[in-house]
Amino acid sequence: MAVAVLVAIGLQIALPSDLGMQPHWLMPVLEGLILVALVVANPGRIVRRSQALRIVTLMLVAAISIANAWSLVLLLNALLEGKHSVGQAGPLLLSGASIWGTNVIVFGFWYWEFDRGGPAGRAAGLRPHPDLMFPQQVNPDMASHDWEPEFFDYLYTSFTNAAAFSPTDTMPLSRWAKMLFLVQSGISLVTAAIVVARVANILH
């Protein structure tokens, strides 16, 4: 989880300064400070139920989400206005890939944080019914009896949903999960379609 946050922060820093919140360093620094607080409070697997810790985690995910959404808005606006910063195919592809990749990480966090009450809730077994149905839960003979999804499983689910624009092997069951899948697929589709179309126009 910490590695994914660092990757997201790195992708934000790699974006051109005019495609991020100003000052450009503010959101990465804020996210880094929240991450340090989380690691210090719970350096291992998150199994301790703490309302304060959960709020801090949600603040971190929300900060990354807001920063990435703002970058996407600025990118789309720059494309529509034909600004020079996105007038070349290479930088445009890199900017689009950075926003798309951050989007994958962000939604992986949302799935991880809300499925059956979050990591601490899953560890405590508070909710018997999952919000996301993984293949190992459908076919228990294919995994150990105590199998539980970890952060990477949610990150993989987020990637496949963003790449295929629809669920693949993991199915959303609750309404909030279906809504998140819908929003993520829509964002991914818009980002890919507009960026690829613009690149094709530049190359042509």
Q: Which pLDDT tens digit goes with each residue over 45-79?
A: 655 566 777 788 888 888 888 888 898 888 888 77
Query: What percent of the chain has pLDDT above 70?
Result: 89
The predicted-structure confidence for 27-36, as pLDDT tens digits, reads as follows: 788 788 877 8
Structure confidence at residue 159 as a pLDDT band (50, 70, 90)? very high
- pLDDT of 107 reads 94
Average pLDDT estimate for 191-204? 74
Residue 171 pLDDT exceeds 90: yes
Residue 84 pLDDT exceeds 60: no
Give the whole-angstrom CA distance, residue 189 versus residue 149. 27
- pLDDT of 132 reads 94
- pLDDT of 47 reads 54
CB count, 10 Å around CB of 52?
8
> Which residues, at least 6 apart from 13, have a Cβ–Cβ distance to it below 8 Å?
24, 28
- pLDDT of 85 reads 59
- The number of distinct structural domains making up the chain is 1
Range of the domain at 80: 2-203
What is the CA 101 to chain-centroid distance, rounded? 8
Average pLDDT over all residues of the chain = 83
- pLDDT of 105 reads 92
Residue keyed to tokens 């949600």: 58
Average pLDDT estimate for 111-138? 85
pTM of the full predicted structure? 0.85
Residue 199 pLDDT exceeds 80: no
Residue 153 pLDDT exceeds 90: yes
- pLDDT of 46 reads 58
Which of 15-19, 48-52, 118-122, 179-183 comes out lowest in average pLDDT? 48-52
